[in-house]
Amino acid sequence: MRIALLVVVMMAGLAPAAHAERDYPWCVFGGELGASGDCMYETREQCLASAYGRWNLYCDINPRVRFRQPAPPPPPRRTH
């Protein structure tokens, strides 16, 4: 029994971690997905296809991608 338990624990430890290597730009939000949404879409079309037919879901830009981008520089000031 102990050997079987040890084998199960070892196999679970060898399984790769389930995390994304990068942040995808599009997410499905709403419904049962919660506030974090489902952010695994490369294009808006992929996101819309996933949300299609589910009345309370919508697509938007991944907040992690949106807020990581630096703000554009201010326009140059004119001095006369």
pLDDT > 90: what percent of the chain? 39
Q: What is the DSSP string of the chain?
A: -HHHHHHHHHHHHHSPP---SS--SEEEEEGGGTTT-EEEESSHHHHHHHHTT-TTEEEEE-HHHHTTSPPPPPPPPP--
Q: What is the pTM of this model?
A: 0.58
54: pLDDT confidence band, cut at 50, 70 and 90? confident
Locate the domains of the chain by residue range: 20-69
Average the pLDDT over 32-38 and give the result.
Answer: 88
